[in-house]
Structure 1
Amino acid sequence: MKGDTISMSAYMDDFSMITIVVNKPFSVSPSLSLVDDNKVVQPLTIDEQEHYHNQMIYKCRTRMPIHLKNRYWVMINESRIPLMIGSIVRTPKFDSLYYDETSLGAIYTPESTTFKVWSPVAFAMKLKYKTQKSNTFIEQKMSRTEKGVWEITLEGDHHLTEYLFVVNVNHEWVETTDPYSKSVTANGVYSVVIHLPETDPEGWNRSGKKINLRSKTDSIIYEVHVRDLTIHSDSGVVNKGKYLGLTELGTKTPNGFHTGLEYLKSLGITHVQLLPVADFGSVDETMPDSAYNWGYDPVHFFSPEGSYATNPYDPSCRIKELKTLIHTLQQNGLSVILDVVYNHVYKREESPFEKLVPGYFFRYDNGGNPVNGTGVGNDTASERKMMRKFILDALTYWMSEYKVDGFRFDLMGIHDVETMNLAAEKLTSLNPGVFLLGEGWDLNTNLEPEKRATLSSAKKMPSYSFFNDAFRDHVKGSIFPDGQSGFINGNHDERIKHQMKHVMRGYSGQNSTFIKPEQSINYSECHDNHTLFDLLSIRHPFEDEFLRRKRQQLALAFTIFAQGVPFIHAGQECFRTKKGEENSYNLPDTINAFDWNLVESFHKEVDYFKQLIGIRKSQPIFLESSAEFLEWIVPDGGLGFKLHLPNTDIKKDTSYWSNALLLFNQTTKPILIPLEKNTWTLAIEDEKYYNRLINEDLYKLEALSFSLLYSV
């Protein structure tokens, strides 16, 4: 058998099984054996063989168990081929043998720094580092523990020391950054040791805990991209597109309208949700204006992104400026939710995960190919013990070091229920008021459906709120322009009206999706897909823009007053457009920038948005889970709901409403609604605020409008 006529590879698939893959069958039964570094030879026997994608697969058994401390070769007659890491790392035994609770990463003190990294499959490991005083890198051998953690301690103060791990895996040496890097150099070339107290901004209380006990239903979430909100030429912000841009006070447009932080403060929202701020790979940090991205392509999960820092070359700068942003928002009464992306990595092959323990941190199909439920080429395996530990460690770090108030989990349905519940338990112990929410879409990943953290698992995950796609789809219709339209589009289908009754109640109860309304994130627009303004422009191309804006305002009223948690995409209140682009994740600022001229043009509509928020926040009838939610009979084309707050101590305050009436008209003509005379007071009518008693028997609900009435 000659090497140029047959190609072969061999993999460890279990502790006593080796898989040999060849491009064509052996003509005669070969002599097979396994040899290690110590020249120990043991024969291999073929247990089974099969054809798979034009290849022959031979499953072979060893007589003695494989030890991962050794390197092995498979002898096939006279040929010797290296034994590579295979699915052995995805066996329960591997997880059991090598799970280690120890702290990982660069553990700093002024006297010394200990470096720890987990790689049970590495044959050898070296630390490659360069201090601030040295212009050259030094390499030192690391020692291995039984659980596969490699470590070394360097004496002295190593704050800002740059480092890599040089690892021998699969018979070759590769360099990798530290998956637990607290900071990195520009574009994540090197990991950096950080003395974290030196990154604390003025007024930062390192020992203090951030405790927020606001109920979820008393929250209004506003989704923001760091760069979008300040990059516009008329933002009045000095540090445009940077963390610090959102900390500047007193910023205004040329015509004197509030922008940036001042604008956020004025809205009445409670939570600012930041699109990903952990280090991502698609923007060159040394030329941040040359590209744009939302940030859903993570590389270093513990380090802030450098393109939002004023100096990406300074590893401390990105930390300090992100802390400054968080601290400033909180000092101005706004809680901070981070959008976190643990379901995939930017490039699997280049990830520290894959370099350190090939095949462990990701899910694979039965043929050994990465599965792609995320749509970006790889799905992380949260159910494996060290990936679960990584997620929990990262979340704990962001909460304790950056003092954030909550987390939004991108594609949470990829993760497993057990990991998410463990995360909730840990985070709640640190902050009882932590806000946890996520996308519960059911994606095609290699995990049993009942274990996935999807919408169908909501009742198993009581600490989490879920983006409610039923609310979205029944209010505005399908996210796809050629899909079914929703209530605000004038869809008269009785099924739509019937489902609207459920979504307005937060889809909670014994036979519903959620245990309680607070699990429902009610939204009609987010960073994904078209903005609502653009979608309505596509769905109603010949309609006057005024009418399309009225439809959008209907969606806003549904979002604010449905039971559950309102979620607003930045700019929704002033008809934000992305010029018809459906998926703007990598499009330029000309598409994505928050246009402050729209705030000026639609300042009355922005004020209306503030009024709706003010009413929701000030009236317990919209917040109390005990409030009764009843259908109100209205003519065709309308939808009505009556809320009633039973007798409670809250009602002793005469300014609180006992009843509220929510009325919606999806038609282009007014409709008449019977009311009890001199019973109701008008609060909102046709996007204006009133406070007058209704003294007629029939109330006229204007075309494409929302009215809010109340009684005390």
Structure 2
Amino acid sequence: MKVDHISISAYLDDFSMITIVVNKPFPIIPSLSLVDDKKVLQPLTIDKQEYYDDLVIYKCRSRIPIDLKNRYWVTFNESRIPLMIGSIVRTAKFDSLYYDDTSLGAIYTPERTTFKVWSPVAFAMKVKYKPRQSDTFLEQKMSRTENGVWQVTLEGDHHLTEYLFVVNVNHEWVETTDPYAKSVTANGIHSVVIHLPETDPEGWNRSEKKINLRSKTDSIIYELHVRDLTIHSDSGVVNKGKYLGLTERGTKTSNGFHTGLDYLKRLGITHVQLLPVADFGSVDETTPDSAYNWGYDPVQFFSPEGSYSTDPYDPICRIKELKTLIHTLQQNGLSVILDVVYNHVYKREESPFEKLVPGYYFRFDEGGKPVNGTGVGNDTASERKMMRKFILDALTYWMSEYKVDGFRFDLMGIHDVETMNLAAEKLKSLNPGVFLLGEGWDLNTNLEPENKATLSSAKKLPSYSFFNDAFRDHVKGSIFPDGQSGFINGNQDARIKSHMKQVMRGYAGQHDTFLKAEQSINYSECHDNHTLFDLLSIRHPFEDEFTRRKRQQLALAFTLFAQGVPFIHAGQECFRTKNGAENSYNLPDSINAFDWKRCESFYKEVDYFKQLIRIRKTQPLFHESSTVLSEWKVPEGGLGFELNLPTTDIKEDASFWTNALLLFNQTTKQIFIPIEEKRWTIAIEGEKVCHRALNEEQYRLKPLSFSLLYSV
């Protein structure tokens, strides 16, 4: 607001502190007062004057604590400036006074629905709603509790009633969707009341409680995007790019090669990790083929994305079809991990969070500007009680309603350790075997380093596994083409070789990153950055493709046989390419689609991948914590490790290996390795499965190859 050529605004920064922001100093310090709706005046005292950028800041104090149920204005020189919500919402007192642990959202029964939304800073609130058979929106005033929860109960059956909240905050009325909405209309225009049993597909058991018994190191995660896996023209799938596309059985290419669900279940993987399926903002759900996105731009955290449904206009359809996908994968022996994004929102200013409680759900710097550690313009503040509650409520909802088996946390390092441990405790009470993993990158957010859920805090977060960038970088080199190369590139730097034992041990131990190897997500490729095939093409431009593929197969062997949890990006097994694109998050299907023709052409390599998985899964020494790993002496350019599993009563079986020898050659020349004859049997050699006894005193390790030997 401008007064006498001075631009002025006023913010409530504490329960008695008001900040006046002007574009130039007052020539004469005015008499400042605070006035409420009842026109009661309170004088304000200027405590200090500060400068920030080109602005002048006056810190003023009120003698009487401010009541957030009222509206206020700051008066000076017969002018009146509306008092806006400032950093008061980020004070410990605010968090303590207004925390509310009751259920929020639209709480449905066939007889009535209660709408509840948290906004302690709202002056008034209404619910605007349109029943199923009506074309007209109605409004109903809501009442406020002491904790700042606004609520109202509407009598009657409101299943499929569309609604919005109309809130008076910062002296204006704004409309917002419900942050707890279980479903929405197309493109999230309106929230929708849902009777959830109506969304259950055939065969769904609402009372079933999922209990996962598989250990983390018995798991093999396969990351995929819902649209990517079936959108290819020769996928043989009817519902291409949809939730239901991944539920179709018997799909094949025109040449008869298995695709989709049948392909996944034949690989031998144990977990499918889905890129975000919660509602996101960058794709128009009514024309889903007009744009593409990975989905890391969340809008509605409790509702599935509509562009993957066959009818985005039907609020039930998106829920039922996602449940069908999850149920189908599980019925085919595959556990389901959801990639969840709680570290930021698509557009902060337009989010229900910011409309309902401005400035609370996000982190800001000392000058009141949003922190941007995520790189997308905003960081959520998981350490605040109601944001923490929101995250825990969302996670428990997805687990209990959709019966998923785990969660992958995008940019988990933005979140705080306490929230993540509370989430683990809650989720494990529902399913002790829930699989939790995340990105532990240390990002520049407004949180003390020791409180960040980063890789350096891994030992404080024993329930979580972390994407292991040290594993990735020492195996394949930096994700940046100009960065340092890795072992598979032929880098014989002593520092690389010295780290390879940690790579094989999963960086676990008293003086290492993790408490146990199960905390290490071992990967050389994921949806981010170049595919490994493309990166090798850039890094080795003068090599033929055959040679580069040999390097990639070396990375695959490290990923599958190092201690920890193997993680595979969909298509890695058939040298997936995105035509050199480094960041394909919004590029078209021509770049992102899983190429079934290419996969079919590399059927031998896919079979090899299956055989490696079978060996890892059937031989306990590759995933038991009691396995002892030691280095095996090999000539320069090679790497060798012996695994030994002490015999126990459980494992006294002729088919179980007590020892395994893993040999890697990073050079383009063969290596001869001294070895004890008649002790070892060759299981893998030259990317082929064989069971041939070794009868020589020297073993010839082929160029750019991996060999696996064993003894029982």
TM value normalised by structure 1: 1.00
> Which structure 2 residues correspond to residues 291-690 of structure 1 after superposition, within 5 A?
291-690=291-690
Q: Deviations over 1:425-468 (max 9, x none)?
A: 00000001100000000000000000000000000000000000
CA distance in 2, matches of 1:494, 1:29: 68
SS of residue paired to 2:103: coil
CA distance in 1, matches of 2:414, 2:3: 42
CA distance in 2, matches of 1:461, 1:359: 28
Q: How far 1:221 moved relative to its partner?
A: 0.0
CA distance in 2, matches of 1:319, 1:67: 42
CA distance in 1, matches of 2:51, 2:707: 68
Q: How far 1:647 moved relative to its partner?
A: 2.4
- In percent, how many aligned pairs have the same letter? 85
Which residue does 2:46 correspond to in 1? 46
CA distance in 1, matches of 2:261, 2:687: 25
CA distance in 2, matches of 1:47, 1:3: 22
CA distance in 1, matches of 2:50, 2:438: 42
Which residue does 1:87 correspond to in 2? 87
CA distance in 2, matches of 1:364, 1:129: 34
CA distance in 2, matches of 1:650, 1:531: 41
Residues 662 and 707 in structure 1, CA contact (< 8 A), matched pair in contact too: yes
Residues 2 and 8 in structure 2, CA contact (< 8 A), matched pair in contact too: no
Q: How far 1:246 moved relative to its partner?
A: 0.1
SS of residue paired to 1:26: coil
The answer to whether residue 116 in structure 2 is matched with residue 133 in structure 1 is: no
CA distance in 1, matches of 2:390, 2:484: 41
- Which residue type is aligned with residue 672 of structure 1? F
CA distance in 2, matches of 1:43, 1:481: 63
Residues 651 and 657 in structure 1, CA contact (< 8 A), matched pair in contact too: no
Residues 440 and 453 in structure 1, CA contact (< 8 A), matched pair in contact too: yes
Which residue does 2:31 correspond to in 1? 31
- Which residue type is aligned with residue 375 of structure 2? G
Which residue does 2:63 correspond to in 1? 63
- Which residue type is aligned with residue 48 of structure 2? E
- Which residue type is aligned with residue 213 of structure 1? L
- Which residue type is aligned with residue 108 of structure 2? Y
SS of residue paired to 1:342: coil
- Which residue type is aligned with residue 665 of structure 2? N
CA distance in 1, matches of 2:61, 2:607: 73
CA distance in 2, matches of 1:271, 1:67: 52
CA distance in 2, matches of 1:14, 1:364: 15
Q: How far 1:280 moved relative to its partner?
A: 0.1
CA distance in 2, matches of 1:580, 1:491: 23
Q: How far 1:78 moved relative to its partner?
A: 1.0
- Which residue type is aligned with residue 552 of structure 2? Q
Q: How far 1:39 moved relative to its partner?
A: 1.3
Which residue does 1:702 correspond to in 2? 702
CA distance in 2, matches of 1:251, 1:679: 45
Residues 650 and 656 in structure 1, CA contact (< 8 A), matched pair in contact too: no
- Which residue type is aligned with residue 652 of structure 1? E
Residues 105 and 115 in structure 1, CA contact (< 8 A), matched pair in contact too: yes
Q: Deviations over 1:579-602 (max 9, x none)?
A: 000000000000000000112110
CA distance in 2, matches of 1:314, 1:642: 57
Which residue does 2:222 correspond to in 1? 222
Q: How far 1:410 moved relative to its partner?
A: 0.1
CA distance in 2, matches of 1:560, 1:55: 57
The answer to whether residue 208 in structure 2 is matched with residue 202 in structure 1 is: no
CA distance in 2, matches of 1:360, 1:155: 32
SS of residue paired to 1:228: coil
SS of residue paired to 2:616: helix
CA distance in 2, matches of 1:485, 1:551: 12
- Which residue type is aligned with residue 558 of structure 2? F
CA distance in 1, matches of 2:97, 2:118: 13
- Which residue type is aligned with residue 200 of structure 1? D
Which residue does 1:116 correspond to in 2? 116
CA RMSD of aligned residues (A): 0.7
CA distance in 2, matches of 1:51, 1:556: 56
CA distance in 1, matches of 2:14, 2:462: 38
CA distance in 2, matches of 1:512, 1:334: 32
Residues 464 and 519 in structure 2, CA contact (< 8 A), matched pair in contact too: yes
CA distance in 2, matches of 1:650, 1:547: 42
Which residue does 1:691 correspond to in 2? 691
CA distance in 2, matches of 1:543, 1:295: 36
Q: How far 1:48 moved relative to its partner?
A: 0.4
Residues 534 and 577 in structure 2, CA contact (< 8 A), matched pair in contact too: yes
Residues 658 and 711 in structure 1, CA contact (< 8 A), matched pair in contact too: yes
CA distance in 1, matches of 2:127, 2:147: 19
Runs (4+) of structure 1 moved beyond 2 Å?
A: none
Q: How far 1:492 moved relative to its partner?
A: 0.6
Q: Deviations over 1:335-364 (max 9, x none)?
A: 000000000000000000000000000000
- Which residue type is aligned with residue 345 of structure 2? V
Q: Deviations over 1:69-115 (max 9, x none)?
A: 00000001211000000000000000000000010000000000000
Residues 373 and 414 in structure 2, CA contact (< 8 A), matched pair in contact too: yes
Q: How far 1:133 moved relative to its partner?
A: 1.5
CA distance in 2, matches of 1:483, 1:85: 46
CA distance in 1, matches of 2:160, 2:651: 58
- Which residue type is aligned with residue 242 of structure 1? K
SS of residue paired to 1:650: coil
Residues 100 and 386 in structure 1, CA contact (< 8 A), matched pair in contact too: yes
CA distance in 1, matches of 2:323, 2:203: 11
The answer to whether residue 206 in structure 2 is matched with residue 189 in structure 1 is: no
CA distance in 2, matches of 1:303, 1:55: 42
Q: Deviations over 1:102-156 (max 9, x none)?
A: 1000000000000000000000000000011110100110000000000000000
Residues 680 and 710 in structure 1, CA contact (< 8 A), matched pair in contact too: yes
The number of aligned residues is 712
Structure 1 residue ranges without an equivalent (≥5)? none
Q: How far 1:651 moved relative to its partner?
A: 3.0
CA distance in 2, matches of 1:632, 1:654: 25
CA distance in 1, matches of 2:386, 2:2: 42
CA distance in 2, matches of 1:148, 1:2: 32
Residues 574 and 606 in structure 2, CA contact (< 8 A), matched pair in contact too: yes
Label 1:2 to 1:11 Cα distance change in 2 as closer, same or farther (>3 A): closer
SS of residue paired to 1:396: helix
CA distance in 1, matches of 2:149, 2:230: 44
Residues 476 and 524 in structure 2, CA contact (< 8 A), matched pair in contact too: yes
Q: How far 1:649 moved relative to its partner?
A: 1.7
Residues 292 and 586 in structure 2, CA contact (< 8 A), matched pair in contact too: yes
CA distance in 1, matches of 2:551, 2:268: 23
Q: How far 1:395 moved relative to its partner?
A: 0.1
Residues 225 and 294 in structure 2, CA contact (< 8 A), matched pair in contact too: yes
> Which structure 2 residues correspond to residues 168-179 of structure 1 after superposition, within 5 A?
168-179=168-179
Q: How far 1:38 moved relative to its partner?
A: 1.4
Q: How far 1:4 moved relative to its partner?
A: 4.4
Label 1:34 to 1:667 Cα distance change in 2 as closer, same or farther (>3 A): same
CA distance in 1, matches of 2:188, 2:157: 22
